[in-house]
Amino acid sequence: MSIINVWLSPERALIATDTATQIVLTGQVFDGSKLLVIPHAGVVMAQRGHNVYLSTVFSLAIQHLDISDLDTLCDAMPAMLETANKFICENLTANMTATQREQMGRQEFLLVGNSGGRVCCRHFIRESMSDAFEEFEIEDPGYVGCWDLAWGYPSEDVSTPESMADLVKIQVQKHREALPGAAIGGRLMLAEVTQAGIRLHNGIAI
């Protein structure tokens, strides 16, 4: 279970994840990165699901000859996701239980960068191992990827690192109450994207 949020405007975006990461085969929980930067493309890549997908897709992206910005990265994503899924199915899922394979199913990526003179966010998501990834454009004011509407509606005013941290803390608290022992929380990882560049914030305990 992971947090993946984005607040979005034409001039600026904030992307937030937690760091609690769980090894599917052993259940061990550790601090890991769910948010990575592709500097030469000016893109932040955040992921919710199994982090082997993030590490595999990121590795493919930084070696790809045709990626130079958000648009070319999004053009390359379907093929990279297919390659990553094939590698993972052939090498990792054979020793998993049916429940563990099911946990590998839902995967989502947020890609944030500049396109057409504004900051944009693209969303790639699938619900199960048998599904293809679908691509969506995230609209202002953004997306909250780990929220139960039984809690009400999340605040849309999370345009500062402090207000985003407050939202993430609520998400962590609610999920821990509903699922004690869930791998969620750790520290807040936050990226701020503008038309001028990318700034990272980290270390806030959540």
Q: Fold for domain 4-205?
A: Glutamine Phosphoribosylpyrophosphate, subunit 1, domain 1 (3.60.20)
Q: Which residues contact 168 (CB under 8 A, 6 or more apart)?
A: 3, 5, 16, 18, 188, 206
pLDDT value of residue 168: 95
Q: Cα separations (Å) of 15 from 4, 42, 198? A: 7, 14, 11
For 84-139, what is each residue's pLDDT tens digit?
999 988 887 777 777 777 777 889 999 999 999 999 999 999 998 889 999 999 99
Phi, then psi, of 132 in degrees rounded to 5? -85, 155
Please report the DSSP string for 43-64 in residue order: EEEEEES-HHHHHHHHHHHHT-
Q: CA 137, 114, 54, 33 torsion: positive or negative?
A: negative
Tell me the mean pLDDT in the region 156-172: 94
For 33-64, what is each residue's pLDDT tens digit?
999 999 999 999 999 998 899 999 999 999 99
User: What percent helix, strand, coil does the chain show, rounded to 5?
Assistant: 35, 35, 35
The order of strands in the sheet holding 187-194 is 142-144, 4-8, 12-17, 187-194, 198-205
pLDDT value of residue 167: 95
DSSP state, residue 150: G
User: Hey, where are the domains in the chain?
Assistant: 4-205
Three-state SS at 91: helix
Query: Mean pLDDT, the chain, as a whole number?
Result: 92
% of the chain exceeding 70 in pLDDT: 100
